Structure formats: C-alpha cells, structure tokens
Amino acid sequence: MGAALRLARAAGKCGEVPVGAVVVAEGRIIGRGGNRPIGACDPTAHAEMTALRRAARRARNYRLNGATLYVTLEPCLMCLGAMVHARIARLVYGARDAKIGATAWLGRGRAGRLNHRFAVLGGLRADECAALLRAQQLQRDLAIQLRIEGGVHDAHRARAQPPHDDGAADLRADRQDIESVPTRLRVIRLSCREKG
C-alpha cells in the first residue's frame, strides 16, 4: 500500500484526484498506476485501470491469476469489472468511497452470477488514504474561495491544470515493453496494434 500511496501523492501533485494502485504477483509489483483522467483526457484512466494494463503488458497475459491489486480508494464499478476480467485473486483498498465505491455490489444478488470472484479487504491504511483525499479537496476549496474573493467567479478556472499529456510517456513504456519481447512476437504485437 505504501507504493500506491506514493503514486496517489504524485497524481495529486498533477491536479488529479490522489488515487494510486499497484498490482502484485509473486511478491513483486508488476503494474503501477496513478489517477490520470484529467491529464490524459480519458475517463477510463483510473489508477486501477492503468495498473492493470501495465501488469497485463508485463505479464504478457490479460489474465492476472493469483495477483493482488492494492488501491488507495475503494474502486468504482468500471474498475471492478476490469478486475473480474483480469481474474485477480484479491483486492485490497484503503479509504472507502461513499459516492461511487462499488465493492458492496459484489456481495449482492446478480453479482453471484459473475464468472470470477475474488477476495476483498478494505480499510488498509484507510486514515492515511482518506487524509490525502481530504487535503486535496481542502486545497481546491481554498483555491476556489481565493479566486471568488479576488473577483474570479469561474470555479473551473480555479482548478489546477495538469501539464499537457500527449501520451508520450505511455508510448515510451509501450516501446520498452515491445523491445523486451522476442522479434517474432514483436511483429505480431505491432500488427495487432495497427489494426486496433
């Protein structure tokens, strides 16, 4: 959870909601992610999704059997769906999300029909995780208040704009992943990307 907290702090410094996630398999971190929906202009760029994508690339398999995902905030339904598809073994989260946290859904009616279930543990370092979220919210509220008092009434301009993200970091990570794959497999991967 310590690594996820560091990623959450980094995301918060970029103007994102401070959420971080790591995927651990066989005692090693195989995927990391910080929240980036604002900077990436991508509503699916949650910390969990980024960590799962990177873990799958590193494992060279979209199934992450036996893996544990650690995240600082209770996941939303989209992220839980991705975890089901990835076949993780366990989810460990820090702070509870009363608005869109969806882990309670896993124990209800139709969730029992899912083709994969995993263990869920909530509340690990919850106070520390929640403190990050509260601190960022206080900073945003203060910035908005200062702008209103200064004559600027547009709350959207009060939000810190993260640096422009053209996806270059992801492309560099992809290229490193591709270069580590044997040449025969690399050709197959590149042809799949060109079609999709």
The three-class DSSP label of residue 71 is strand
Question: So which residues are the catalytic ones?
Answer: 48
- Measure the CA–CA gap between 122 and 56, rounded to whole angstroms: 24
Do residues 32 and 26 make contact, with C-beta atoms less than 8 angstroms apart?
A: no
41 sits in which H/E element: none
DSSP H or E stretch at residue 62: none
The residue count of the chain comes to: 196
Q: Who's near 141: CB < 8 A, 6+ residues apart? A: none
Four-point Cα dihedral 42, 48, 54, 58, nearest 10? -160
